[in-house]
């Protein structure tokens, strides 16, 4: 049996019964119910078509069929270079294969499923021509500055680091680069993904994508480096200064400082003292903190204020810069740079079910990202329970209105998809009219 012939093989799950309780976490048996009843396949296809699924003469009807989808099946069987010309084709394939994960790739110059036929001609015409500008941020990359969790584990004490990342990156993408159509998605376990979908973003080449990624690059250290960031110049870049004042400083002092107990003991405060190059300052602070004078106030706040006061009292730009570098080291977004730099990088699709947690990869409203609790994100089992409680049994139309899924889909449609689709239709109309005018001018000449 070939990989393309692999099928789940289980009958469509009946979700009725007297007991509505459903086991927590990921359950492969419920995937067909989820894909059949809840997964917003039509909206996903509409998003990725960017208006080219319409009847306007300016539409590129080959566009959708040149987009790569990748399915990961049970036992880590990968089906790369899948392509679909219509929403019904995509929906049928998802229901048939029941993938544990769906990844989205670029739009290629030719249909990716027929790439081998083109390669026989000798010309390398199979190449990515369009792809969203994407960002991938994982909480595990912050393990050196969080003490509540490690690895893929996450809790409400360290999740604000992801909130900081969303606020900083989203604001810059909109204000500094002029992008409008931005989709943030919870990865389902330990991080967030960002999809920048403006036409000018999708058409960036690899060099331009790398330049934007490098614009955000501040965190350059590793686990063996005392200094985690590189803030150059006599003053912070306006983007960094704005991020520090509007986001980083507040989250560091009001949330992370105490929630992570950054100055709780010698091991932890020594990590911070190592970032200060002035030995006289570090010696004085170390002496104070090792004296173990008790205080009714939060020891983390007291020690941070002592550090700031001593550094601020010294002359020279470098001492104030130390304060900024400490805050940046603990809070500034840490991007997976390679994901953003290359057009052909795959990224997990929104609304997938994470196979480790059972959580849905839901869209995140950047204006309300402070409210997101990853432990409260809808899970596959919760949604199946909602369907059971609602009495939905037979396969039919999507039924998310009766589930805890409804707000997720509503946000995706109303705040992201509808404005994007309107913009794409206007762009297609403008481009078509320009071509018609140019053609008429050529004929007149």
Q: Which residues contact 224 (CB under 8 A, 6 or more apart)?
A: none
pLDDT number for residue 124:
64
Q: Which listed residue (43, 111, 130, 136) is catalytic?
A: 136
Q: Is 136 a catalytic residue?
A: yes
Say whether pLDDT at 211 is over 60.
Answer: yes
End-to-end CA distance of the chain: 61
Q: Which listed residue (103, 138, 170, 386) is catalytic?
A: 138
Show the domains of the chain with their CATH numbers: 28-218+336-437 (3.90.920.10), 238-331 (no CATH)
* Farthest CA pair distance, the chain: 89
Q: Which listed residue (43, 68, 111, 198) is catalytic?
A: 68
Q: Which residues of 100-136 are buried (b: 16+ CB within 10 A; e: fewer)?
A: bbbbbbbbbbbbbbebeebeeeeeeebebebbbbbbb
Q: Model confidence over 248-285: pLDDT tens digits?
A: 999 999 999 999 999 999 999 999 999 999 999 999 99
Question: How many other C-beta atoms can be found within 10 angstroms of the C-beta atom of residue 139?
Answer: 26
Handedness of CA 206, 207, 212, 217 (dihedral sign): positive
pLDDT number for residue 314:
82
Say whether pLDDT at 340 is over 80.
Answer: yes
Determine the Cα–Cα distance for residues 5 and 394; give it in Å rounded to an integer: 26
pLDDT number for residue 224:
53
What's the mean per-residue pLDDT of the chain? 88
129: phi then psi, degrees, rounded to nearest 5: -120, -15
β-pairing verdict for 128-130 and 191-196: unpaired
Identify the band that residue 235 occupies on the pLDDT scale cut at 50, 70 and 90: confident
Q: Model confidence over 123-173: pLDDT tens digits?
A: 668 899 999 999 999 999 999 999 999 999 999 999 999 999 999 999 999
Burial (0-12, 13-18, 19+ Cβ within 10 Å), 393: middle
Burial (0-12, 13-18, 19+ Cβ within 10 Å), 411: middle
Tokens 């208006």 belong to residue: 51
Say whether pLDDT at 18 is over 50.
Answer: no
Across 41-45, 88-92, 204-208, 381-385, least confident range? 381-385
The model carries a pTM of 0.89
């Amino acid at each position: 049996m070939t990989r393309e012939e692999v099928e789940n093989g289980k009958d469509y799950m009946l979700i009725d019964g007297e007991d509505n309780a459903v086991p927590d976490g990921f359950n492969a048996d419920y995937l067909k119910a989820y894909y059949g009843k809840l997964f917003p396949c039509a909206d996903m296809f509409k998003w990725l078509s960017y208006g080219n699924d319409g009847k306007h003469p300016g539409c590129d009807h080959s566009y959708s069929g040149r987009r790569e989808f990748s399915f990961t099946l049970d036992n880590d069987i990968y089906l790369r270079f899948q392509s679909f010309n219509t929403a019904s084709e995509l929906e049928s394939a998802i229901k048939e294969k029941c993938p544990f994960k769906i990844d989205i790739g670029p739009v290629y110059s030719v249909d990716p499923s027929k790439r081998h036929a083109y390669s026989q001609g000798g010309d390398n015409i199979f190449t990515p021509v369009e792809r969203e500008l994407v960002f991938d941020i994982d909480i595990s990359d912050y393990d050196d500055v969080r003490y509540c969790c490690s690895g893929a584990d996450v809790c409400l004490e360290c999740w604000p680091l992801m909130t900081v990342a969303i606020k900083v990156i989203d604001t810059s993408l909109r204000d500094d680069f002029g992008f409008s159509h931005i989709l943030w998605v919870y990865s389902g376990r330990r991080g967030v993904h960002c999809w920048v979908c403006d036409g000018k973003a999708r058409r960036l080449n690899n060099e331009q994508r790398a330049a934007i990624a490098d614009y955000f690059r501040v965190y350059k250290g590793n686990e063996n480096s005392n200094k985690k960031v590189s803030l150059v110049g006599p003053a912070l870049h306006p983007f960094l200064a704005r991020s520090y004042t509007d986001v980083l400083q507040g989250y560091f002092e009001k949330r992370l400082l105490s929630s992570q107990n950054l100055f709780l003991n010698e091991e932890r405060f020594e990590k911070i003292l190592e970032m200060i190059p002035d030995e006289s300052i570090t010696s004085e602070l170390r002496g104070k903190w090792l004296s173990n004078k008790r205080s009714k106030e939060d020891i983390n706040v007291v020690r941070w204020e002592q550090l700031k006061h001593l550094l601020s009292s010294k002359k020279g730009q470098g001492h104030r810069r130390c304060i900024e570098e400490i805050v940046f080291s603990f809070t500034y977004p840490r991007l997976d740079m390679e994901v953003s730099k290359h057009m052909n990088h795959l990224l997990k699709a929104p609304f997938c079910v994470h196979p480790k947690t059972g959580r849905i990869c839901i869209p995140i409203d950047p204006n309300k990202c402070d409210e997101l609790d990853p432990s409260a994100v809808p899970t596959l089992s919760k949604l199946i329970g909602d369907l059971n409680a609602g009495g939905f049994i037979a396969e039919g139309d999507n039924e998310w209105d009766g589930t805890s899924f409804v707000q997720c889909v509503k946000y995706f449609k109303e705040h992201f998809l509808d404005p994007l689709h309107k913009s794409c239709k206007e762009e297609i109309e403008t481009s078509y009219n320009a071509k018609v005018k140019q053609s008429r001018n050529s004929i007149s000449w």
